[in-house]
Amino acid sequence: MMSVKIIIPTALRQHTDDKDELQLNSKDVKSALQELVTAFPDLRSYLYSDNGRLRNFINLYLNEEDVRYLQGEETTLKDGDVLMIVPAVAGGAPGHDYQGPSFSPSEFARYSRHLIMPEVGLEGQKALKNSSVLIVGAGGLGTPSAMYLVAAGVGRVGIVDFDDIEKSNLHRQVLYSEEDVGRSKSEVAKERLLKVNPNVSIELHKLRLDSSNALDILKDYDIVMDGTDNFPTRYLVNDACVLLGKPNVYASIFRFEGQASVFYAKEGPCYRCLYPEPPPAGLVPSCAEGGVLGVLPGIMGSIQAAEAIDLILGKGTPLIGRLLLFDALDMKFKELKLRKNPDCPVCGEHPTVKALIDYEAFCGVKDESDEVKEMTAGALKRLIDAGDDVFLLDVREPSEYEMARIEGARLIPLGELPQRINELDTADDIVVYCHSGQRSAQAVHLLSGMGFKKAKNLKGGIVAWMEQLDSGARTR
């Protein structure tokens, strides 16, 4: 006789004194079942027909393998084996056939660790397969959350992203590899996710989400997951979710710190209740400008996936009305209570935002491409090689300057520029650069307003200089 564990499904536990697993000593599957129904006689009619044959709506899995593809009830057992009973048909009213999703033997094996959990079980796995989640942004947050949602069996996953993969993405966006640089994020994501689980549907929206298309895209999904990296899109996703009555599973990251919550206006506050107004443009740097610990978005994206699954299953206590703060440097979590703002313009008692607005204008972000004079890395290289007199101004922080800089550049961090403007000459041809071109664009605006008409922004910053030319930058 071998010691084996037999897992009882939720639907049958009323006949086993609510026991979800039992330890039996049996030589094969048949004797294990006989021992089970001897101990709990009420189970017999559920497992066996009147002629003693195992009912055809009962599946048996031994260590994740369907016993029908082994030796059936004659399959021998060994110490430590796990035998799981999985009713093939469950739920619904008596006399009615269940019309929900069905599972192949391969899917039963894949989801076996879910099926034996009372909080999930067969009904929960069906709910996951019948659900849909839209992920806005296939970046640091979107890639880990997408992998876990797909692996968990969420039936339909949508991805909104129009970017291509860059080398700087690879330290945190774990769905992509070196060979993918230059390819579409959403297309590569679909390829990889279908390898994780071919039983799900991946839908791509290769476009920029804006006020003209957001409602049409979001309305077809049960849950929206915010993996964005800019304030206009974050407010857009929030307002669209409120107007559509969708839960918005939120996370944000910066350097070593992360935030997570679930904004669901039907049951709690929305994003605008927490942050009624965005910060001034340029005050809060993006990950491209400020950096981010590579593992951080994996942690926060996994939290988002867990929250989405809890919402689908209707289990646990989701982060509605709570803001979870995580500090990866000190490895600490902190939780803050959020309250619904009765004066919130979108979800309050008397909302004034009843349609999507211009979120670029709301966040103070303008299309400044025509206002900022720019110079490409190639053009700058030609000027330097020709010996032209060019004043290079680096507006990054000293720590960035020490790691990599263009030889001969003067360092004046952006925050110090107004006080040190006297160090510059309005007659000079000034080329300003930062990491990727955002801070330097602000610097050029500042300089232009103070009479420096010949100041230009290095398009793409030092990243473009190093990637396009692979020379001329001094690194330490």
Q: Which residue has the tokens 């160090």?
A: 423
| Burial of 92: CB neighbours in 10 Å, binned 0-12, 13-18, 19+ | exposed
Yes or no: say if 390 and 429 are a contact pair by the CB < 8 Å rule: yes
| Burial of 332: CB neighbours in 10 Å, binned 0-12, 13-18, 19+ | exposed
The secondary structure element, H or E, covering residue 398 is: helix 398-403
Q: How far is it, in rounded angstroms, from Cα 381 to Cα 466?
A: 11
Pairing, β 65-66 against β 58-62: antiparallel
**The 2-7 sheet, strands edge to edge:** 21-26, 2-7, 82-87, 58-62, 65-66
Spacing of C-alpha 109 from chain mean position:
26
Give the closest residue to 388 by CA, choosing from 431, 421, 451, 432: 431
Q: How far is it, in rounded angstroms, from Cα 360 to Cα 366?
A: 6
Tell me how long the chain is: 476
- Angle between helices 121-129 and 296-313 in degrees, nearest 10: 110
Note if 434 is an active site residue: yes
End-to-end C-alpha distance for the chain, whole angstroms:
67
Q: How far is it, in rounded angstroms, from Cα 30 to Cα 14?
A: 22
Report CA-CA distances (Å) from 250 to 253, 324, 366, 376.
11, 10, 25, 36
From 241, 270, 273, 287, active-site residue: 287
Note if 270 is an active site residue: no
The catalytic site residues sit at 287, 434
